[in-house]
Amino acid sequence: MATSKPKVDAVIVGMGWTGAILAKELTDAGLHVVALERGADRDTQPDFAYPKVVDELEGSVHRRFLQSLAQETVTIRHALADTAVPYRQMGSFKPGAGVGGAGSHWSGCHFRPLPEDLRLRSNVEQRYGKGLIPADMTIQDFPVSYEELEPHLDLFEKICGTSGKAGVINGTVQEGGNPFEGSRASEYPLPPNPNYLGAELFYKAAREMGWHPYPIPASNASRSYVNPYGCQMGPCNACGFCSDYGCLNYSKASPNACILPVLRQRPNFELRPHSQVLRVDLDGSGGKATGVTYLDAQGREISQPADLVVLCAFSLYNVHLMLVSGIGTPYDPQSNTGTVGRNYSYQNLNRVVLFFDKDVHANPFIGIGGAGTTMDDLNGNQLDNGKLGFVGGGLVWARQPGAGPVRGINVPTGTPNWGSAWKQAVADNFRHSFYYEVQGACMSYRQHYLSLDPTYKDAFGRPLLRMTFDWHPNEIKASQFFVAQALKMSQVLNPLSMAGDAKKDGERYNITKYQSTHTCGGAIMGDDPKTSALNRYLQSWEVPNVFVIGANAFPQNNGYNPTGLVGGLAYWAATAIRERYLKAPGPLVDA
């Protein structure tokens, strides 16, 4: 029998970026907030302290800062007729656990969406008619505009000390930034980070292609910085341990460094780590949440009543919690009804590696997580999708988040995997190669969705979340186009050799190969309760005192990394809760 805790105003599930943002905003509003985090508490000191944190075996093999799959994972299959099998070892995507969540082990790429990305379906139909969109493609417009989100995207950048160069401020194009971006109210809080070799050469190669290169906005502080909450960041020292690692230097923006220092002081905020939420509890009508039930560190079942429940777990687990709690109607791809699980999408990441002679010092051990160079000439309305025959844009970029030999050394195609020839190749190439990546959008489809697995269970006896996903010909075509462009661009730099990994016709989704943690959708925001689980304020249509914050809300994914938009949406939802919901709890949009 569950022990019941005293009722609180709001309970937050998960203490990553969205949980920290919501906790800050709701405690600002005077609410008593309890945050439940399944993993351990973590802070820069001592958890990310040098030198222990820069241990490659611990970080990238034992995956100390990621979620263990032993307790919870997902199952995956390619198609409806297949039997899903568990994601047993970390590969394709890397959810986090512990305070900070994936926000402590991300790299730091911090993009805003393009205005046209947020109205994707209507924009594509307007440009090319309805014919370009395949019948099974279920893309939708976001139910919120870039202009509405701009102040929230702006605030999140200021919280993160994002280092970049604005391209358009109040409608005026700025030298050195992305001329195609949506208009911004202000410059980035910090200037760009310095360029490592690949990022510098990208400018030369991209300009020869007639493109408009610009610095990737990176939440890796290029200078000392104090954010609007009073949290201090130190300048990034290019240590090369970003992705998979917590930041040792208070340089990479994270909930731990940028928000939690404030929250931890607040008497109306209580953080309970090692608290595994099992379900959201609903009242007899099913239309109201009464709180959540969780297991504490000792495995005791605890009931935490609350007026407001905010799901801020990793996107996949937000959807899982909705499904196991009975919030909304599960999506059924056969009948095309229901909403929870609908429109799962991902990211279309591909890589081109360039190998150079020994006088070219690429030094891949140097790394500044999100920093580098990219361009938007093949993204958004710059790309002629009608001519190319696929939907969605993408980026080519130079990024160097830091490499070490345990994380892997790129060697030219044809090199043996072991023996003296392999040794010679790693010795010859480690310091003299770098890579460019192609990050493409990923559309949503009727047959790609999330549901509960009929067979496999987690350590708490709940069915695992089941992902049905594969590469659609649209994304394969896009991959081939973008990689070909990246190879053409790279040729300008005259490398000794190159290796590109464009998806081949008919290639299936491979869950063993890392290709970003940008799992999106499954509980999407929309204007129509028949085709979206959440309204435009990320509020459940069916259970209005439940808000679900995260990339789960994306109807499809664009070419950018999702974190900037996720943070912006979190502030957007928090503002709606503070300014409207708390005054009159109930649906913020009539169904």
Partner 1 sequence: MSDPLDKSPSLSRRSLFKGIGLLPLAVALPGCGEKDAPAGVGATAAPTEYKPAFFKPAEWDFVVAACDRLIPHDAVGPGAVESGVPEFLDRHMQTPYASGAIWYMQGPFLDAPAEFGYQGRLTLRDILRVGIGAIEAYCRKTFQGKGFAALEATQQEELLKAAEAGKLELEGISAKLFFSNLLAEVKNGYFADPHYGGNRGMGAWKMIGYPGMRADYLDWVEVRDQAYPLPPVDLSGKRG
d(CA 213, CA 270): 45
> In the set 4, 89, 186, 337, which binds partner 1 (CB under 8 A)?
89
How many residues form the binding site for partner 1 (CB under 8 A)? 83
CA distance 423 to 410: 12
Closer CB to partner 1, 316 or 383, in the complex: 316
Applying CB under 8 A, does 363 fall inside the site for partner 1? yes
Q: Is 91 in the site for partner 1 (CB under 8 A)?
A: yes
Contact between 204 and partner 1 per CB under 8 A: no
Cβ nearer to partner 1, comparing 240 with 526: 240
Count Cα neighbours of 317 within 13 Å in the Cβ-side half-sphere: 28
Helices (H), 220-328: 255-258, 260-263, 315-325
Q: How far is the CB of 49 from partner 1 (least distance, A)?
A: 9
Q: Please say whether the beta carbons of 69 and 87 come within 8 A.
A: yes
Instruction: Give, as ranges, the residues between 477 and 536 that touch partner 1 (CB under 8 A).
Output: 508-512
Q: Per CB under 8 A, which region of 280-288, 452-460, 494-502, 520-528 contacts partner 1?
A: 452-460
Minimum CB distance to partner 1, residue 215 (Å): 13
Site string for partner 1, 31-50 (x = CB under 8 A): -------------xx----x
CB of 504 to partner 1, least distance (A): 13
Asked if residues 437 and 373 have their Cβ atoms less than 8 Å apart, the reply is no
Q: Which of 36, 368, 476, 570 lies at the binding interface for partner 1 (CB under 8 A)?
A: 368
Our answer to whether residue 472 is catalytic in this structure is no
Q: Cβ 274 to partner 1, closest distance in Å?
A: 16
Residue 293 exposure: Cα atoms within 13 Å on the Cβ side: 13
CB of 507 to partner 1, least distance (A): 9
User: Which residues, numbered 216-235, are part of the site for partner 1 (CB under 8 A)?
Assistant: 226, 229-232, 234-235
> What is d(CA 64, CA 96) in angstroms, rounded to the nearest whole number?
10
Residue among 358 and 387 whose Cβ is closer to partner 1: 358
**Helix pair angle (146-160, 563-576), 10° resolution:** 110
Binding residues among 264-323 for partner 1 as defined by CB under 8 A: 264-265
Give the residue with the Cβ less far from partner 1, 315 or 363: 363
Q: Site for partner 1 (CB under 8 A): which residue of 158, 274, 351, 431?
A: 431
Give the H/E segment covering residue 86: strand 85-86
Residue 57 in the binding site for partner 1 (CB under 8 A):
yes
Considering beta carbons, is residue 175 or 418 the nearer one to partner 1?
418
Q: What per-residue string of b and e applies to 517-552 under the rule 16 or more CB within 10 Å gives b?
A: bbbbbbbbbbeebebbbbbbbbbbbbbbbbbbbbbb
Is residue 404 near partner 1 by the rule CB under 8 A? Answer: yes
User: Residue 362 CB, nearest distance to partner 1 (Å)?
Assistant: 10
Instruction: Return the number of the residue (368 or 487) whose C-beta is nearest partner 1.
Output: 368
454 backbone dihedrals φ, ψ, rounded to 5°: -75, -15
- The H or E element that residue 451 is part of is strand 449-457
Q: Which positions from 317 through 356 interact with partner 1, judged by CB under 8 A?
A: none
CB of 64 to partner 1, least distance (A): 9
Residues in 119-148 at the binding interface with partner 1, rule: CB under 8 A: none
Distances from the Cα of 438 to the Cαs of 151, 212, 383, 479, in angstroms? 29, 16, 15, 8
* Nearest partner of 249 among 130, 343, 155, 368, judged by Cα: 368
- Binding-site member from 52, 204, 488, 580 for partner 1 (CB under 8 A): 52
Give the shortest CB-438-to-partner 1 separation in angstroms: 20
Nearer to partner 1, 6 or 230 (CB): 230
Cis before residue 46, ω within 30 degrees of 0?
A: yes
Question: In terms of CB distance, is 26 or 239 closer to partner 1?
Answer: 239
Q: Return left, alpha or beta for 272; rule: phi > 0 is left, psi -120 to 50 is alpha, else beta.
A: beta
Q: Which helix (H) or strand (E) holds 478?
A: helix 473-491
Cβ proximity to partner 1: between 261 and 562 the closer is 261
Q: Which of 32, 212, 320, 518 is catalytic?
A: 518
Applying CB under 8 A, among 2, 54, 168, 484 the residue interacting with partner 1 is 54
Q: State in angstroms the smallest separation of the CB of 194 from partner 1.
A: 5
- Tokens at 449, concatenated: 């969705």
Measured from the CB of residue 420, what is the shortest distance to partner 1 in angstroms? 5
> Rounded CA gap, 250 and 216, in Å?
20
CB of 180 vs partner 1, minimal distance in Å: 27
Q: How far apart are CA 523 and CA 540, in angstroms?
A: 9
State the DSSP string of 515-535: --S--B-SS-B-S-TTT-SB-
241 binds partner 1 (CB under 8 A): yes
What is the separation of C-alpha 508 from the centre of its chain, rounded to a whole number of angstroms?
A: 22
Give the integer Cα–Cα distance in Å for 542 and 500.
46
Q: Which stretch binds partner 1 (CB under 8 A): 72-80, 146-154, 545-553, 555-563?
A: 72-80
Does the footprint of partner 1 cover residue 80 (CB under 8 A)? no
Give yes or no for residue 414 binding partner 1 (CB under 8 A).
no
Question: According to CB under 8 A, which one of 130, 358, 387, 583 is a site residue for partner 1?
Answer: 358
418 contributes a contact to partner 1 by CB under 8 A: yes
x-marked contacts with partner 1 along 453-482 as a string, rule CB under 8 A: --xxx-------------------------
**Cβ density class 37-73: b for 16+ within 10 Å, e for less:** bbbebbbbeebbeeeebbbbebbbeebbbbbebeebb
Q: What does DSSP say about strands 74-77 and 463-468: parallel, antiparallel, or unpaired? A: parallel
Residue 412: burial class (beta carbons within 10 Å; 0-12, 13-18, 19+):
middle
Instruction: Name the residues annotated as catalytic.
Output: 518
